[in-house]
Chain A
Amino acid sequence: MKIRIKKAGLMATIQDLGRHYYLSQGVPVSGVMDSLSAQIANLSLGNAPNDAVIEFTQSGASFVTEDDVLLCLSGAGACLKTEAGILPSNCPLFVPAGTNLYLENAPPGCRSYLAIAGGWAAPEVLGSKSTYVTGRFGGLDGRCLKDNDILNSSGNLTATTMVIWDSLKGGAINHPKWSVGRALFLPDARNTIRVMRGREFNWFDGPSTSSFFSQEYTLGHNSNRMGYQLKGKPIHRVFEGELLSTAVTPGTIQVTNNGDLVLLMADCQTTGGYPRIAQVAAVDLPLCAQLKPGDPINFKEISWKEAEKLYIERELDLRKLALAIKQRYNVE
């Protein structure tokens, strides 16, 4: 199974769930920005959750199927269209060879994930297929996809994937009646992001910390896979100490010396020296991944205990989803 990219759009990269074993050598996690959508796309095909997907940014990309393929699109950056009309997201799609497909605007988000039966083929670099463009490794030669790239499935289909394939293959585009209710996990567009207090929360004055939870911020134009600029009232410090550089992680919200907020995302550096006002709840990071420059964002506090509970629930729900799809196709 393979496709040829006709237009890569704004930014398209191969990603999986990240490179987790080299943080101590300064290697960022990378991986998909929206891990919920990427996993839904994979699980819908009977793939493993960590299989490589293509992360597309907003609309404008297009590709052609070179063979008969089994695909799934999830996320909120675009919908998949043929000349004949819109195709459903969050369910397996059989698409015959020679079909032109377009990612077009409609949903309100930023990023979409295209999975293929068996996952996209890419060499593992430091235990992951994720592209890290700054380091020029991972994915396709460490770079963004470009026009005319050919992308193949790994060809390693699970038993579930093979049953799905057999149930849909034929001469025309085909899909089942079911699709995954992505909105059951998270609403498509919610701009209130749940956060926990960061280690240096008390370094800032009362008016600043209360406005952090009450005001609306806007995503700055200099926002990318490394981090987001959040435009709003500057945060003032009461404690003027220097923080000794220590580990940071995607979801960490730092306050720069000018009082500006930076929300660290998938390709962020492994350590940082700016005080941390908050940490985004892991379950809400996929919502952040769907924000575009200019979008509003605001924060609501939850406890660390609540965050861990939500995280565990999300993980268990994803496992239940994988099992439910298996059972639907009578694979044990």
Chain B
Amino acid sequence: MTDLAGKNNLQVYPLSECALTIEFRKSIDDAIVTRVNAFDRLLNKKGMPGMYQTVPAYASLTVFFDPLILLNSSLPGKTGFDKARNYLLELNEEIGLSLELEGSSLITIPVCYGGEFGGDLEYVAAYTKLNNEAVIKLHSEAVYKVCMIGFIPGFAYLGGLSPALEIPRKGTPVKVAPGAVGIAGSQTGIYPLETPGGWQIIGRTPVCLFDAKRSQPSLLKTGDRVKFEPITFSEFEKYSGG
């Protein structure tokens, strides 16, 4: 049984003069991802003097702040870092045992697998000793969790890939199209922008993952659950057109 609520597995370290990271554990674990998100939600609800943004990751939460505001606050501690650390360790005590996330939604993302959109599907099938159909089935029947957003705007690292589909990333990144769906290691993800990428590309979604003009520019956020729905090429074209 893991000591999820205890503070003994929390490490707090400075990332810069304006940011500190709370490290929960050094491994990927569904319970830790949930805990990072619960802490993130609580912190954003309660606030912290001078705090302006948090970045949740697999097993850590980074808090960005203005040290000047923090230093002038009445929190205990001599430096901005100490004040923030003391406050966050205290907040950690407040997280209940009920870590279920409110408001995390299930988002279905249509994907056209294989063909010109999924140039690495055959390679993945050969590597995993499956056929194309089995790869698509395994990839699209799982429910994934957004563990982290990073790398480029709106890029979601999705955990929950079938172990049968685990595959190393490419040696050299190649140019990928916006909406390309890739797998690497035990993760899957979707490239929101045209960028060099090293993941094995098995399909493409017509859905726009990131749009700076939207009030919530990234379609996915940490803690969301995601499912892929296979679509045909003509459905893809219809979707893109309207």
Contact surface of A with B, Cβ cutoff 8 Å: 20-28, 125-126, 134-135, 137-138, 196, 199, 241, 244-249, 251-252, 269-272, 279, 281-282, 304-305, 307-308, 311-312, 315-316
Would you list 10 pairs from A and B whose C-beta atoms are within 8 A, ordered by A residue?
Answer: A22-B53, A24-B221, A134-B152, A246-B21, A246-B58, A249-B15, A249-B16, A249-B18, A272-B150, A304-B14
**What 3 pairs across the A-B complex have the smallest Cβ distances?**
A271-B150, A247-B62, A25-B218
User: Is B79 in contact with chain A by the CB < 8 A criterion?
Assistant: yes
Given contacts A24-B53, A244-B57, A126 and B217 within 8 Å (CB-CB) = yes
B157 contacts A by Cβ under 8 Å: yes
Judge whether B18 and A282 touch: CB under 8 Å. Answer: yes
With A20-B64, A25-B217, A26-B218 given, is the CB distance from A270 to B55 under 8 Å?
yes
C-alpha spacing A10/B23, complex, angstroms: 41
Is B183 an interface residue when CB atoms closer than 8 A count as contact?
no
Residue from the set A126, A271, A272 with the largest chain B CB neighbour count within 10 Å: A271
Specify the chain A residue showing the minimal Cβ separation from B154.
A26
The interface residues of chain A lying within 8 Å CB-to-CB of B158 are none
Interface residues of B in 138-163 (CB under 8 A from A): 148-155, 157
**B17 lies within 8 A of A20 (CB):** no
- Interface centre among A125, A248, A272, by most chain B C-beta atoms within 10 angstroms, is A248
Instruction: With A23-B64, A24-B53, A271-B150 as known contacts, state yes or no: A247 contacts B155, CB within 8 Å.
Output: no
Tell me if A26 and B155 are in contact (CB < 8 A): yes
**Cα(A27)–Cα(B154), bound, Å:** 8
Query: A270 — which chain B residues lie within 8 A by C-beta?
Result: 55, 149-151
Given the contacts A24-B221, A305-B79, A312-B71, A246 and B53 also touching, CB distance less than 8 Å:
no
Please, what's the 1-or-0 string for B166-196, where 1 marks a CB less than 8 Å from any CB in chain A?
Answer: 0000000000000000000000000001010
Chain B residues within 8 Å of A199, by CB: 13, 15, 21
Within the complex, which residue of A26, A134, A137 is in contact with B150, where a contact is CB–CB below 8 Å? A26
Which residue from B17, B59, B68 sits with its C-beta under 8 Å from A281? Answer: B17
Interface contact B14-A271, CB-CB below 8 Å: no
CB distance from B80 to the nearest CB of A (A): 6
Rounded to whole angstroms, the CA-CA distance of A21 and B153 in the bound complex is 13
Interface magnitude class on chain B = 35 or more
Q: Mark B43-75, 1 if CB is under 8 A from A, else 0.
A: 000000000111111111010100110010000
Q: Is the CB of A196 within 8 A of B150?
A: no
Given known A-B contacts A247-B15, A271-B150, A23 and B21 have beta carbons under 8 A apart: no
A24 in contact with B16 (CB, 8 Å): no
Within 8 Å CB of B58, what residues of A? 244-246
Residues of B near any A CB (own CB < 8 A): 13-19, 21, 23, 26-28, 52-60, 62, 64, 67-68, 71, 79-81, 148-155, 157, 193, 195, 210, 212-213, 216-218, 221-222
Residue of B17, B23, B55 near A24 (CB, 8 A) is: B55
Contact check, A279 vs B157: say whether CB atoms are below 8 A apart.
no
DSSP majority for the B interface?
A: mixed
Contacts of A23 in B (CB 8 A): 53, 55, 64
Q: For B218, list chain A residues within 8 Å (CB).
A: 25-26
A246 touches B60 (CB 8 A): yes
Interface centre among B14, B19, B68 (most CB of A within 10 A): B14
Assess the A247–B151 pair: CB atoms within 8 A.
no
A245 partner residues in chain B, CB cutoff 8 A: 57-58, 148, 150, 157
**B16 CB to closest chain A CB, in angstroms?**
5
Q: A249-B16, A311-B67 are in contact. Are A24 and B56 (CB under 8 A)?
A: yes
Contact residues in A for B213 (Cβ distance below 8 Å): 125
Find out whether the CB atom of B150 lies under 8 angstroms from the CB atom of A308: no
Taking the closest CB of chain A, its distance from the CB of B75, in whole angstroms, is: 15
State the CA gap A10–B92 with chains docked (Å): 49
Q: A25-B216, A308-B81 are in contact. List 5 more A-B contacts (CB 8 A).
A: A26-B150, A27-B217, A304-B81, A308-B67, A308-B80
From the candidates A26, A247, A279, A312, name the one contacting B152 in the complex (CB within 8 A): A26
Q: Which residues of A contact B52 (CB under 8 A)?
A: 20-21
Contact status A246-B80, CB under 8 Å:
no
Tell whether A25 pairs with B152 under 8 Å between CB atoms, given A244-B60, A308-B17, A308-B67: no
| Residue of B with least CB distance to A241 | B26
Beta-carbon nearest neighbor of A27 in chain B: B153
Residues in B neighbouring A304, C-beta threshold 8 A:
14, 81
Interchain nearest-CB distance for B215 vs A (Å): 10
